[in-house]
Homo-oligomer: A and B are copies of this chain.
Amino acid sequence: MNYVREAWYVAGWSHELATGMPYAVTILGEPIVIYRGASGRLAALEDRCVHRLAPLSLGRCEGDRLRCMYHGLLFDPDGSVVEIPGQDKIPPQARVRSYPAVERHSWIWIWMGSAQRADEALIPPAVGLDHPDYILGHGHLDYAAEARLINDNLLDFSHLTFVHLQSFQAGPEFAAIPGRITPLERGIRYERWTENSTGPASLKSDELVDRYMSYDFLIPGVLLMTGGVFSPGTAQACGHGIPDLAEADGGVTFTSQAVTPLTARTSRYFFSWGPHRAHGDEAHRDVLMGIAGQAFAEDKVMIEAQQRVIENTANPVIMPTAHDRGVTLFNRLVERLIKEEECARADAA
């Protein structure tokens, strides 16, 4: 698996983790148990007891600690064993890995790199379910496909014209005219103005308008997208740059999406979407979530089929097209960061 390790991966929805209920998740092929202790403290441990490799996620929370329910070893949130039934001395190797874990923007984020380098400033600025400005629906989908293929999908919106013919009804424009791609320090930015148009059939306006949409796609695989509808001439007036969303006539929404590699061939895809309070209500959110549900199912069919073809191809080689600029930039960034991590590890050793 070729993924950045020094990054925050979304492990789940914060509100779905009940206190004292261990939750098992696999990230980058590593089994992890996450639990919220009695004090409210979040912990994420290697989900594998040091004794005989039973999963700690079948264990029992005791205060802020977690007990393996096979032979009773008790673990501190830092991963160290603090009790071995029937034995007084606890050997120093009696510990499992502990992962930095943070709850923010309604998600549980796990740092997969070295704990000393965990930097909360690197958590992507997603919009949480409790954000005062937005009315958001949310969900997740499991993929029988590697995360990179989902990232690639999200980095090239020309697929909207073809894959989402039924759901977004985005029309030929996404494939005909590339968006503007800008490199970011930890990702890429995609921007698109559509001028003097009634827009896609699924989100049609009554009059001719200018539409702006923009997303940042950030390490390790987080898409944050917004946009809005403006009076004709706005695109021109701001030189096709970033408009002030507060000036939008309508249609401002926000979607946060996160792709988490579970194993080499499976992924979990988290998402929320909904209107700005000034431009919609719960009913509008439900319409958007209905469209999203259809669209994400269309992606899943295509990407899982693509995964199966790749698995059955001895030497899978791709042929990038003009629309692949975002894909290529992002994947090069991933390669560079992985190389830097390897160098840092070599230096440390």
> Which positions in A face B, CB cutoff 8 Å?
29, 31, 47-48, 50-55, 58, 67-73, 84-87, 91, 93-94, 152, 156, 158-159, 161-163, 165, 175-178, 301-302, 305-306, 308-310, 312-313, 316, 318-323
* A223 smallest CB distance to B (angstroms): 18
Q: Which residue of chain B has the shortest Cβ distance to A318 in the bound complex? A: B52
Q: Which residue of chain B has the shortest Cβ distance to A175 in the bound complex? A: B85
Q: Is the CB of B163 within 8 A of A69?
A: yes
A175 contacts across to B, CB distance below 8 A: 71-72, 85-86
28 A–B pairs (Cβ distance < 8 Å), ordered by A: A29-B312, A31-B312, A47-B309, A48-B309, A48-B313, A52-B306, A52-B318, A53-B310, A53-B313, A53-B318, A54-B302, A55-B306, A69-B163, A69-B165, A69-B302, A70-B163, A71-B158, A71-B162, A71-B321, A72-B158, A73-B321, A85-B321, A85-B323, A86-B177, A86-B178, A87-B321, A87-B322, A91-B319
Q: Which residue of chain B has the shortest Cβ distance to A319 in the bound complex? A: B50
A302 contacts across to B, CB distance below 8 A: 54, 58, 69-70
Contact with A86, one of B48, B71, B322 (Cβ below 8 angstroms): B322
Q: A51-B318, A70-B163, A94-B319 are in contact. List 11 more A-B contacts (CB 8 A).
A: A48-B309, A48-B313, A51-B320, A53-B306, A53-B310, A53-B318, A69-B163, A71-B162, A85-B161, A85-B321, A93-B319
Q: Is the CB of B313 within 8 A of A86?
A: no
Q: Is the CB of B158 within 8 A of A309?
A: no
Contact with A309, one of B31, B84, B159, B306 (Cβ below 8 angstroms): B31
What separation, in Å, do the CA atoms of A48 and B87 have in the docked complex?
Answer: 51
What separation, in Å, do the CA atoms of A323 and B165 have in the docked complex?
Answer: 59
* A317 smallest CB distance to B (angstroms): 8
Q: Is the CB of B318 within 8 A of A70?
A: no
Closest 6 CB pairs of A and B: A85-B175, A87-B322, A69-B162, A54-B306, A50-B319, A86-B322
A158 contacts across to B, CB distance below 8 A: 71-72, 85-86
What separation, in Å, do the CA atoms of A94 and B319 have in the docked complex?
Answer: 8
Q: Is the CB of B58 within 8 A of A305?
A: yes
Q: Is the CB of B305 within 8 A of A54?
A: yes
Interface centre among A31, A51, A52 (most CB of B within 10 A): A52
Q: Is the CB of A159 within 8 A of B305?
A: no
What separation, in Å, do the CA atoms of A181 and B176 have in the docked complex?
Answer: 64
What separation, in Å, do the CA atoms of A50 and B320 have in the docked complex?
Answer: 9
* A29 smallest CB distance to B (angstroms): 7
What separation, in Å, do the CA atoms of A67 and B162 have in the docked complex?
Answer: 9
Known: A72-B162, A72-B175, A322-B86. A58 touches B93 (CB 8 A): no
A47 contacts across to B, CB distance below 8 A: 309
A178 contacts across to B, CB distance below 8 A: 86
Q: Which residue of chain B has the shortest Cβ distance to A90 in the bound complex? A: B321
A48 contacts across to B, CB distance below 8 A: 309, 313
Interface centre among A69, A152, A308, A316 (most CB of B within 10 A): A69
Contact with A71, one of B29, B31, B55, B159 (Cβ below 8 angstroms): B159
A29 contacts across to B, CB distance below 8 A: 312
What separation, in Å, do the CA atoms of A93 and B175 have in the docked complex?
Answer: 21
A50 contacts across to B, CB distance below 8 A: 318-319
A84 contacts across to B, CB distance below 8 A: 321-322
